[in-house]
Amino acid sequence: MPHTFISLAKACGLAALAASLLVLGLPDARAEENVWPILKEQAFGDRPIQEEDGMVVLETPSKVEDAAIVPLTVRVPPSVKGELKSLTLFIDKNPDPKVATLTFGPAAGTSGERSFSTRVRVDNFSHVRAILETADGSLHMTTKFLAAAGGCAAMQAKDPDADSADMGKVIVRTFPPALDSNPIWAAQVMIKHPNHNGMQLDINTAKFIPARFVKEMTVKRDGELVFQLDGTFSISTNPNFRFTFSRGEENDLDVVIVDTDGTVFEGQTHPKGS
Amino acid sequence: MCTPKLISRQTFLKASLALAATPLLRYVPAHAAAADVSEVAPGVFVHQGRYEVQSPENRGDMANASFVVGSEGVAVIDTSGSAVMGRELRDAIRAVTNKPIKYVINTHMHPDHVFGNAAFVQDNPTFVGHYKLARALGTRSQGYITANKQMLGEATFKGSEIILPTLSIKEPTTLDLGDRTLLLEPQPTAHTDNDLIVTDSKTNTLFLGDLLFSVHVPTIDGSIKGWLALLDEMGKRKAARVVPGHGPQTMELPEALEPEQRYLATIAADVRRQIAEGKTLAEATKTAGFSEKDAWKLFDQYHVRNVTAAFAELEWE
Ligand SMILES: [Zn+2]
């Protein structure tokens, strides 16, 4: 009886299921080289970057359990006042190191604790960086090291058939602050989307599933821009975002998402009803 | 094999009781290089895996592996976690019977249940699995190979291969072993999206694969909702005995399911409450389900990942 041996030409680190091996601490050779100078040059040229100056805080899990779905949170402490221009997230050793760039608009707020969270794939032992650009154009960076591997090739979809049935479903939620005086609201956007990175094999065709991921997301509050996000496949399957925005009149959020196929997905929430 | 230390007394007594109820017919101790197996019912043999994660010392011997001997041939149900363990299982079969090995059935995709398949290629059996098993293994094979090579060590992993099913099960299907048949039933997404339940007709023994964990903390790699729903259905079944994927060689329904049901239901309730309160995934992984910590082995290795999976599923409700 014939049987099939699989051999793949292309590898992308370890499986998510291997998370427990992380205690062994066996980074591969790529983890040794420092790619940041090149990434910095590409993204910011020769602009100076202040490091660890307290203007931006990055929270990562102390131990990564599933490299295909690693929660990251960036906070800008309340002591930082004024508008923010942009926020960029990098995972140095990922196939596409840039996770996302957010370009902020007037509805992102000018005070209070502003934050942004998402879930990412981490392909290798890597530095994770958040670079904040403030209104005066200065750049501020904070860095964490993540001992995680294998989020890229790992097929995170546990039930791909159920997921593809719901493809494109968008949920938008807002969370009013506990105190009415707080000028900052929180929100969540989630979309059912495989965010295929082109590194997962389709056994039926013996080909890699073509890359298809969320490329752009625009969030508006009462018609004013909160931020525009440019994303990559470093963001996990079923992309999930938490963020803050400044209090408005209605606090209606409108979200438009475009993927690399050019498909447009929309979601909104109207907390006061319509 | 190893005496449970971390599990609650109650769980342990239950497991012991379940064992006591099914007297062992034959114990085939490890000799030369054969895996130790016990005959838990006439012609039904089970090798019990260890409550550990892969290491060069345990050689991937973590999951239970079984075989059923009929008048015309043998069916293997899960092959342990490496080619070397698969060979030892094969040696154990050969110590019992010279009948041809006709079928190698994998209850689902996980490495500790499939990497021993390679040892049976020489027998030219039909490799059997759920109709979604091939896709699941295909998308994960490179990761499984790299990770297990690293955890077991190159030397121990040597010869281990992902071997895809040649018979895919979409509808309940019967395999004939001569004087007995095996019923294969593909399940909806639960522990994984490719779980298969195998029933030996002659002894009414159910092989549940990783739909049933005992002592070893369950791992969610499919759907917590689907798994809880399936456990309700499984509890209504009648069987002389069930063989868990991880746990003692045999247990009894419905008690065998209770600790796992409680574990999954606790996670689901905690996670749903936190989602309703607007909590984040990172927050949930610090508290949800921790009341179960002392009831399971390997809790620290798998629990946070289970909560992560449950959260990512239940937040879409
Ligand atoms: Zn399993």
Which positions in chain A touch B276 (Cβ < 8 Å)? none
pLDDT value at position A156?
Answer: 59
In chain A, the domains with their CATH numbers are 8-268 (2.60.40.2470)
* Residue closest to B264 by CA, chosen among B214, B298, B312, B310: B310
Q: Which phi and psi angles does B35 have, rounded to 5°?
A: -70, 150
- Chain B residues 46-85 within an 8 A CB cutoff of chain A: 53-54
pLDDT value at position B62?
Answer: 96
Per-residue pLDDT band at A153 (split at 50, 70, 90)? low
* Residue closest to B158 by CA, chosen among B142, B144, B145: B145
Q: Pairing between strand A201-202 and A264-269? A: unpaired
A71, A117, A155: residue with CB nearest B139: A155
A1, A15, A20: residue with CB nearest B124: A1
Q: For an interface test with A, which of B126, B144, B145, B146 has the most A Cβ atoms less than 10 Å from its Cβ?
A: B146
Q: Which phi and psi angles does A124 have, rounded to 5°?
A: -160, 165
pLDDT value at position A133?
Answer: 98
Q: Which residues are paired to B209 by β-bridges? A: B244
pLDDT value at position B1?
Answer: 30
pTM for the model stands at: 0.86
Q: Which helix (H) or strand (E) holds B262?
A: helix B258-276
DSSP assignments along B274-305, one per residue: HHHTT--HHHHHHHTTGGGGGG-BTHHHHHHH
Q: Which residues are paired to A156 by β-bridges? A: none
Q: Find tokens 């060069």 and name the residue.
A: B56
Q: List the pLDDT tens digit at each of the 317 positions of chain B.
A: 333 333 343 444 444 444 444 455 666 665 556 789 999 999 999 999 999 999 999 999 999 999 999 999 999 999 999 999 999 999 999 999 999 999 999 999 999 999 999 999 999 999 999 999 999 998 888 888 988 999 999 999 999 999 999 999 999 999 999 999 999 999 999 999 999 999 999 999 999 999 999 999 999 999 999 999 999 999 999 999 999 999 999 999 999 999 999 999 999 999 999 999 999 999 999 999 999 999 999 999 999 999 999 999 999 99
Rg of chain A taking only CA atoms, in angstroms: 19
Tell me the C-alpha distance between B138 and B132, whole Å. Answer: 10
pLDDT digits (tens, 9 = 90+) for A190-244: 999 989 887 766 666 777 778 899 999 999 999 999 999 999 999 999 999 999 9
- Return the percentage of chain A with pLDDT > 90, whole number: 62
pLDDT value at position B279?
Answer: 93
B285 and A12 in contact by Cβ < 8 A?
no
Q: By the CB < 8 Å criterion, does A202 face chain B?
A: yes
Highest averaged pLDDT of the listed ranges A26-30, A149-153, B213-217: B213-217
By the 10 Å C-beta count (0-12 exposed, 13-18 middle, 19+ buried), B91 is classed as middle
In chain B, the domains with their CATH numbers are 28-253 (3.60.15.10)
Which positions in chain B touch A12 (Cβ < 8 Å)? 142
By the 10 Å C-beta count (0-12 exposed, 13-18 middle, 19+ buried), B271 is classed as buried
DSSP assignments along B118-164, one per residue: GGGGGG-PEEEEETTHHHHHHHHHHHHHHHHHHHH-HHHHTT---B-
Mean pLDDT of chain A: 85
Residue A41, both tokens: 């040059």
pLDDT value at position B142?
Answer: 82
Residues in contact with B220: Cβ distance below 8 Å, sequence separation at least 6, in sequence order = A158, B191, B227, B264, B305, B306, B309, B310
